[in-house]
Amino acid sequence: MVSPSRSSRNTVLCLLLLALVTSLFFHRVLLHPDQTLWTLDIPDAHSEYKFVQWHSFADWGRFPLWDPTIYCGKSIVGDSLPAVLNFPQWLFWVTPSPVFFGLILWLYATLGTWGMFLFAKRKGCDLHGAMLAAMVFALSGKTAGHLFAGHLEVLGTMLCLPWAVLAADRVLEKPSFLRACLLGATLALVCTCGSVQIMYWHFLFVGAYAALCLVAGMRSKGKAATLRSALFFAAGLLAFLVFAAPWWFPIVRQTLLLAARARGTDYQFATSFSPQYDDLLHLLWPFHGVPPLTLGPSGRAFWERTLYLGTIPLVLLLSASLSSRKNRSIIIISALLTAFSFLLALGKNGPVFWLAAQLIPGVEMFRCPGRVFFYTAFSGALLSGLMLSEGGAMKRRWPLPVISGLLLLAAGAGALLLWRSEQKTIPHAWLPLVQLTLFTVLALVWTARRLPDALWKAAILLLVCGDLFVVWQDHMVVARTQDLFQNTPPMKFLAEQRRSEEFRVLAPKSIVSQTTAARLGLEIAGGYHPGIYGRYLDLYRAIWRSDGSTSTLLREHSSQDILHPVILDLMNVAYLVAGPSDRGLVRAQPAEFVGGEGAQRARIYRRDSALPRVCIVPGAALPAPGLSLLDAVCAMDPKAGCLVEDRPFKGGEPFHPLSFERQSPSEITIQFKSEKGGVVLLSQAWHPDFLATDHGQPLELRRVNYDFVGLCVGPGGHDIRVWYRPWDFILGCRVAAAAWLMLAVAGARAFWRRRTAAPLDSAAA
């Protein structure tokens, strides 16, 4: 029997070894500080957030609340992706160096292996089995695929799953108020990683796990104890609402108010990128039909459809039913979760997702059902770890996994010959074949008692680690940080103009990316964002002759597609950047050539008709009868007045720009005199949490021109202040601060009681 001190020492050594393994997987960024992960969503989205947050602190000394660089402004705290509450990502507040992306993802991967190791060990795995489960879950091909996609928020939230399940398991086993609070606090920390979708699936998965555990334990614990466990588990979920109030409250409230993620979300949207049946061959081939680093039609979004656990873990989990009876309960629970999550992840091509969409609220709000494969990896990793843990006790029953391995080997060889006959290549086709061959040979030698248990398990761990390492490295896309932000002539010109005026730019993202814009302090009218405000999406679609933009992605257009330039005028789009495909601009659109050809052969055009950032117009009117507000905006003269949905206002002050002073990205002051009064227009997206005062007195802030800010003022002198104050976030911070303080006091009290009770117990003994 192993002593507690030795067991703890072995656990710590295993955790350190897992950290070494993850460091090996990330060696290309850990050993080269001048390189970083740089692919897809990292440069397209996440790096933009980090530059905005850094500028907020460095330039203004303010906590980042508002992002002015995309659309006409967007809330930071009302969006999950900026991860403004995530502790590791606060590194970007000090410096926006892209190097931190690799370090943070390494940290997430390490935390994922640690959490899975501790959970697997708690559920009956020995040290070798727990390490296998940790590596299979956190370092699988599914994780590698999303690493290639640059899904920082998905990986961060997902790799913390074992900690949430571990906290839930502790509540179910020994329910108490403190453990329920720890469950809520753990979920709160996980959610700060940034993915609302994965948190939604986390709640469903953890809830399903808890329900199965309660049913399995009812016979041994009794109904009363089971009910008590269920109540404290539910209390832990409710505690999450308190601990995570600054995260979920503004996101839910502002999403409902602004219709972000609400338009176009239906069953078809939810099942987009559903895995096909031939994608199931990813279980055997890590790059089945998709060469690594391919982004063409055949490879687009392959990370959403892939699931590669490694061929050896696949054999082990398929044979896990042979485990001893002492782990029968967790094996059945894990097998059910593996099967259900696998079927659910098939989306429209499976028998479960449609039923789930009908019965479970919120399923249709998120696309890419293949991300549920992560949960298949979690429960499947646990099954494979349990199987490996059986060791010598199972030697007599190992012919079945050997046979399973041989069948998979034959299937893999057959698939290889089939694809060769179709003249299609499968990269790394040799990898699963070699793995299964070595595994089969080792299993035969081990069952013949020619190989010690410890050596057998170590060999399995090395094979699995090598297998996943090869897959992982083909998904690691790194770049030299000094090559990331080279200023092109268009960028230099726009940055120089930015010093003397405020404006927005409409440009192809290949020329003016969101990251470049945020780094230089530029503001762009388009861009990528997976939670576009509903009314902004309406405005963007109305600009073009035809548009297929969705609630997650704005379509790029050429300048010839512009149909309603008046919306660009309202957006303060003063510059157009034309790409190589643009041979000229629409002549009806006021524009003049002001830039030269740059590295991307881009030309910059000035739009003289663009409204200034702040101006005053004579009044506010209702749209003509029978004409929708958006259609009326597209046909209006923006200098003659503005349009409102109700309560028109008549002033009379002729159009002219107003000077203003910016106090922060979300606060300006305007001082002026008006003889007749009118409507002060701000070229800024309307948001319900903006406030305004005039000489310190509250001033109504109205939504005008469909989705812009307007202030109705009378004649006389004015000293107006407009600022963004997200009361939901502020209230959530106060509630969460009180909850975290109470948890700290309760934890310290429990620790003190345990420490003072120990000497008394020993003395009595």
Question: DSSP secondary structure string, 182-201?
Answer: HHHHHHHHHHTTS-HHHHHH
Residue 660 in contact with residue 686, Cβ under 8 Å? no
b/e sequence 129-150, b meaning 16+ C-beta within 10 Å: bbbbbbbbbbbbbbbbbbbbbb
Residue 642 in contact with residue 710, Cβ under 8 Å? yes
For 723, the token pair is 């600022």
Q: What is the SS3 assignment for 577?
A: strand
Please report the pLDDT score of residue 695 as a whole number.
96
Indicate whether 529 and 442 sit together in one domain. Answer: no
Q: What angle do CA 722, 724, 725 make, to 5 degrees?
A: 120
Helix (H) or strand (E) holding 213: helix 196-221
551-558 long-range contacts (CB < 8 A, ≥24 apart) are: 551/260, 551/261, 551/262, 551/263, 551/264, 551/265, 551/269, 552/367, 553/528, 554/526, 554/527, 554/528, 554/529, 556/508, 556/509, 556/526, 558/582
Residue 595 in contact with residue 620, Cβ under 8 Å? no
Indicate whether 690 and 600 sit together in one domain. Answer: no
Q: Would residue 710 count as lying in a domain?
A: yes
Rounded distance between C-alpha atoms, residue 383 and residue 385, angstroms: 5
Indicate whether 589 and 660 sit together in one domain. Answer: no
User: Which of 579, 606, 633 is the endpoint of a domain?
Assistant: 606
DSSP bridge pairs for 680: 616, 711
Rounded distance between C-alpha atoms, residue 353 and residue 369, angstroms: 8
Rounded distance between C-alpha atoms, residue 95 and residue 47, angstroms: 12
Indicate whether 262 and 355 sit together in one domain. Answer: yes
Q: Would residue 751 count as lying in a domain?
A: no
Domain count, the chain: 3
Indicate whether 517 and 640 sit together in one domain. Answer: no
Backbone φ and ψ of 660, nearest 5°: -150, 165
560, amino acid identity: Q
Rounded distance between C-alpha atoms, residue 344 and residue 338, angstroms: 10
Indicate whether 431 and 506 sit together in one domain. Answer: no
Q: Would residue 654 count as lying in a domain?
A: yes
Instruction: Give the pairing type, strands 697-698 and 690-694.
Output: antiparallel
Q: Would residue 753 count as lying in a domain?
A: no
Q: Would residue 757 count as lying in a domain?
A: no
For 6, the token pair is 């030795």
Indicate whether 497 and 453 sit together in one domain. Answer: no
Residue 214 in contact with residue 221, Cβ under 8 Å? no
DSSP bridge pairs for 577: 604
| Of the candidates 715, 706, 720, 625, the residue with the CA atom closest to the CA atom of residue 678 | 715
Indicate whether 146 and 164 sit together in one domain. Answer: yes
DSSP bridge pairs for 36: 479
CA 62 to chain centre: 24
Please report the pLDDT score of residue 414 as a whole number.
54
385, amino acid identity: G
674, amino acid identity: S
> Which are the contacts of 447, defined by CB distance < 8 A and separation ≥ 6?
395, 398, 399, 402
Backbone φ and ψ of 289, nearest 5°: 70, 0
Judging by beta carbons within 10 Å of its beta carbon (0-12, 13-18, 19+), is residue 123 exposed, middle or buried?
buried
Q: Would residue 758 count as lying in a domain?
A: no
Please report the pLDDT score of residue 393 as a whole number.
55
Please report the pLDDT score of residue 579 as a whole number.
72
Q: Would residue 306 count as lying in a domain?
A: yes
Torsion angle, alpha carbons of 502, 507, 510, 514, to 10: 40
Indicate whether 111 and 176 sit together in one domain. Answer: yes
User: Which of 422, 446, 478 is the endpoint of a domain?
Assistant: 478
Indicate whether 580 and 622 sit together in one domain. Answer: no
Maximal CA-CA distance, the chain: 99
CA 467 to chain centre: 27
Residue 341 in contact with residue 375, Cβ under 8 Å? yes
Rounded distance between C-alpha atoms, residue 192 and residue 406, angstroms: 44
Q: Please, what sign has the CA dihedral across residues 571, 576, 581, 587? A: positive
Given a cut of 70, the residues of the chain with pLDDT beneath it are 1-3, 262, 288-300, 321-326, 391-429, 530, 580-601, 757-765
Backbone φ and ψ of 616, nearest 5°: -125, 140
Indicate whether 651 and 536 sit together in one domain. Answer: no
Rounded distance between C-alpha atoms, residue 512 and residue 490, angstroms: 8
User: Which of 441, 456, 478 is the endpoint of a domain?
Assistant: 478
Indicate whether 492 and 378 sit together in one domain. Answer: no
Q: How crowded is residue 493: how many other Cβ atoms within 10 Å of its Cβ? A: 19
Q: Would residue 411 count as lying in a domain?
A: yes
Residue 542's domain comprises: 485-606
Rounded distance between C-alpha atoms, residue 317 and residue 326, angstroms: 17
CA 605 to chain centre: 36
Instruction: Give the pairing type, strands 642-643 and 619-621.
Output: parallel
Q: What angle do CA 241, 246, 249 make, to 5 degrees?
A: 65
